[in-house]
Structure 1
Amino acid sequence: MVDTGRAEDWLLTVAQRHRLSPTQRQIVQRMLGMFPDVAFLSTVEIAERTGVSQPTVTRLATALGFAGFPEFRAALRDVVVGLSPAPDRHSTPAVDQETANLESLKRVLAGDRMSEAVALLAGTPALGVIGLRASAALAEYFGYFARRLLPAVSVCTDASTVDDTVLEVREQGATALLIFAMPRYPAATVAAIRRARRLGLATVVVADTALVPFAQDADVLLVAPVGTGLVFDSHAAVVVLAVSLLDAIAATDPQRTQQRLEAHEALIDSWIHHG
């Protein structure tokens, strides 16, 4: 459960233990009014909201005794979701951050946008799934299982063919596209979202934050935060969201789902390893 008051008290306590510059104290003061969202924002987003530069936000994290901004943000998330108030973190920040991401995802899965996304994706005669660069594996993962549920699924992970894919699925009768847009956001992904809308296709976009610069171009934006505590971003919450979408789509037509899954099961003996 989100405990905003507890989180504010924690940040104040940490700030009072360190000697901060006037600018840094001002950032902290403004952050106090940004809970719980501040625990899930990037340095760029906090800088924009507090009226300072991105390096200034990064320096604040180290001034507060953290190794860097990812560790500071992970600590914020822990406090917001009621995990641990301790500012000194010597455990596993990457796992703790993912735990906070999954807590944040609960609100998305129970929200109206999730219901809207499921209705669009379950109701399209053909489904296009797009994911470029870092999002390619997510698109392939979703598409692999979506083909067990839906009659016509096209997956595109190549920026050079994404325009062709959008046109082809529309010609196949598609009414909606699912697009994974994880950092860093490829220009071709944003162009595909806008092209799809111009062609009359609804777009369900999965991104890491509601503040992506192309948010207004999506018909439905689903947010699944990424883990940033390791060398490369972790997509644990995004995978859970993808599987949850598949489960909800399957539930919209149980008879079709059963028939298609049984047909798939009939093929398993021909390719599974029996040992």
Structure 2
Amino acid sequence: MHQMIPTMRTRLQHVSLLSLKRVSSGGSTVKKKDERPINANRKSPDTPPTNIEELRTLLIDITKGDAPHSLGAKARAAFGRILDIQDSNDLLSITTLSERIETNPSTITRLAKNLGYPGFGAFQKALLATRLQQPGSFYLNQAQSALLNADQPIKQRAAQLCHENQANIDHFVENLDPKSFETAIRLIADARRVTIYGIRQFHSLAAFLAYGLRLIRADVSVLDSNALGAAEEIGAMGAGDVCIVISVAPYSRQVVAAAQVAHEQGLDVIAITDLASSPLVSTSKAAIFAPHQSSFISNSITSFFAVAECVINAVAASNSEETEQALIARQNLIKRLNVEDR
């Protein structure tokens, strides 16, 4: 085992470099069909998507190399940013949309045609098909108008951020792919071991998710929580184990590399991320998406904690009898250790 550790560390470093090249160059790796996340509402190759759900499914397929369409890295990134827009007003003209995602109108027109639409108008119709009915746009518009001036009361500033977080959670719920989510839950519930990887502020999310899952099942850990090395911990796992990776744009290089290595080691990778164009999608068996647009000074993670709670509850519900026994055993331990002061 001691002889394997340097080899595994070298392997992680090597794959990390390869992963970075793939992300920067827009290159893709051919994946097996059973490694695709399960998605609903797939369209035939000759029919362009008619709504936001079908567009998101198409981008996932393009990212995995399983679609008849081929897009470069910049086009995929633009596509992902368009799908993540919450304010429908930004979609009402090609000019406002191009300004919102910081690109040229001609780029959006080319993207629409590459996806099989005759022009922007048809693409716009698909984008607006469900978004005009989303309450998230109302929350975001209200929040944006709350802070036109920097000298507004602190309560209004707090209200803005809270409304934006409400919008993100609403957006997550309305666009949740139930089949992909159910796949993730089944993999977690049936796994021999589960490890969760997120760094910087998402390390706290990884710890929270690990704590919740440990309440209802054994052998859940945070990857590299003791700084002993991601390579060593991934190397100790194998087929039948699950690795949950968490990152949003700008994506953490270490997490992308770890996801690639875990996938190549035979682990089932579950991605919790923001966009269908995320580099974590290509190695995942299931992907769960949550938006994080807000006025917070860093990436907002409130919606991701909501995702974590949904995952924990769903795993608990997947086997209610075992969950009940696990919770009883945990409560007995808490009493014996006199943890709680009543």
> What TM-score, normalized to structure 2?
0.56
Partner in structure 2 of residue 147 of structure 1: 214
CA contact (8 A) 2:245 2:269 kept: yes
Residue identity over aligned pairs, in percent, reads 19
Match of 1:115 among 178, 182, 207: 182
Could you tell me which runs of 5 or more consecutive residues in structure 1 were left unpaired when the two chains were aligned: 14-24, 32-37, 53-75
Matched to 1:149, the amino acid is: I
> What TM-score, normalized to structure 1?
0.69
What does residue range 249-260 of structure 1 map to in structure 2 within 5 Å? 249-260=315-326
What does residue range 83-122 of structure 1 map to in structure 2 within 5 Å? 83=139, 88-90=145-147, 91=156, 92-109=159-176, 111-122=178-189
Cα distance between partner residues in 1 of 2:95 and 2:266: 43
* 1:109–1:257 distance in 2 versus 1, CA, 3 Å: farther
Question: Secondary structure of the equivalent of 2:272?
Answer: strand
Q: Which sits farther off after the overlay, 101-110 or 157-166?
A: 157-166
* 1:49–1:144 distance in 2 versus 1, CA, 3 Å: farther
Cα distance between partner residues in 1 of 2:259 and 2:140: 39
CA contact (8 A) 1:130 1:156 kept: yes
Cα distance between partner residues in 2 of 1:12 and 1:198: 40
Matched to 2:229, the amino acid is: T
Match of 1:196 among 251, 256, 262: 262
Question: Secondary structure of the equivalent of 1:51?
Answer: helix
Partner in structure 2 of residue 47 of structure 1: 103
Partner in structure 2 of residue 129 of structure 1: 196
1:164 equivalent in alignment to 2:220: no
What does residue range 40-79 of structure 1 map to in structure 2 within 5 Å? 43=101, 47=103, 51=107
Bigger relative contact order, structure 1 or 2 (CA pairs below 8 A, ≥6 apart): 2
Task: State the 1:244 CA deviation.
Answer: 0.7
Task: State the 1:88 CA deviation.
Answer: 3.5
Task: State the 1:264 CA deviation.
Answer: 0.2
Matched pairs, number: 221
CA contact (8 A) 2:291 2:303 kept: yes
CA contact (8 A) 1:131 1:157 kept: no
RMSD across aligned C-alpha pairs, in angstroms? 3.2
Matched to 2:193, the amino acid is: A
Cα distance between partner residues in 1 of 2:242 and 2:105: 34
CA contact (8 A) 1:224 1:237 kept: yes
Kindly provide the CA deviation profile for residues 2-32 of structure 1, in whole angstroms up to 9, marking residues without a partner as x: 9xxxx65x5599xxxxxxxxxxx7522668x
